[in-house]
Amino acid sequence: MLAASYVSHLANERRLSTHTCGNYSRDISVLLYSAGETPLDQLRVYDIRRFVAQRHGKGFSGKSLARMLSAWRGFYRYLMRNHGYTSNPCAGVRAPRSPRPLPRTLTPDEAARLLDFNPGGDPMAMRDKAMFELCYSSGLRLAELTNLRSQDLDLYDETVRVAGKGGKTRIVPVGAAARRALHAWLALRETLARPGATALFLSRHGNDISSRSIAQRLKSQAVRQGIDSGIHPHVLRHSFASHVLQSSGDLRAVQEMLGHASISTTQVYTHLDFQHLAKVYDVAHPRAKKSRAGMTDHAPDGDSPKDER
């Protein structure tokens, strides 16, 4: 089947993650369902526009439709390159625009409160502190944190090697607080690891920890520290980016540390920084409230890049 062949190509040749391949597979299934009995090589631009309009009418967001169209375009490029198709009916079709929400971040005080807990002698609390400190210290995605191995850490060099999206590897710094927590966890990890466990962070049973478990543990920790229960590991990544950018102003350095292919993805954090400055201005300037009355913040116009944050 052409769809299965394409997903296999994505996994084996482009080395995309299982999660990403699953998203592509679902999006292409939507195309096949929408096409019905019409062969793929007979679909035209107006068919694709109709499919998109149908999904939009069912409540799909512009972001979801843009991702879906991207998957369809890629599928047709593959069919043209490998199966003799002569045109890509998805080329030039654009998804409806939708507001681009700004990523949620913690304030520096909130981040400190979230991470400022004493694990005592509890092995799982020691692991949690090491995970959360590292995630915030180095701006890791949840999948990157889950997939870390002990050999990826170089605490002498104060860095961690991260396998990011598309198999791209980057080296990022590890801060002092994270290093202290990691030293404590590494001393304990070897006593807990079961045969075959390779992850840096382990479950209470000594096996590789799951992404779901990390997310649940962080949410529980946030509640204990009196922070909104909606905290997710990606909030720590967003907070890392925002706080480093506020302090340094170096957008390129933040892009490198986050592993963004496009700087346009990183630029969203400059808008967060502006919001922070605007709040300071509103409080500090004697005529700010009148001069800014009626103004509202909007995300920048334009198509959202592929969501790689």
Domain residue spans of the chain: 2-82, 108-245
76, 78, 136, 269: the catalytic one is 269
Contact 169, 147 (CB under 8 A): no
User: Given pLDDT bands bounded at 50, 70 and 90, which one contains residue 287?
Assistant: low
Min mean pLDDT across 86-90, 127-131, 196-200 is at 196-200
Q: What is the pLDDT of residue 270?
A: 73
pTM: 0.62
In CATH terms, the fold of domain 108-245 is: hpI Integrase; Chain A (1.10.443)
Whether 2-82 and 108-245 share one fold: the answer is no
Q: How far apart are CA 75 and CA 114, in angstroms?
A: 43
Q: 19 catalytic, yes or no?
A: no
Q: How far apart are CA 33 and CA 45, in angstroms?
A: 17
Using alpha carbons, select from 186, 176, 175, 210 the residue that is nearest to residue 126: 186
Q: What is the mean pLDDT of residues 249-277?
A: 76
Q: Is the pLDDT of residue 109 over 80?
A: yes
Q: 269 catalytic, yes or no?
A: yes
In the chain, what is the greatest distance between 2 CA atoms, to the nearest angstrom? 68
CATH architecture of the domain 2-82 equals Orthogonal Bundle (1.10)
Q: Is the pLDDT of residue 267 over 70?
A: yes
Q: What is the DSSP letter of 207?
A: S
Q: How far apart are CA 146 and CA 158, in angstroms?
A: 19
180, 234, 271, 276: the catalytic one is 234
Q: 237 catalytic, yes or no?
A: yes
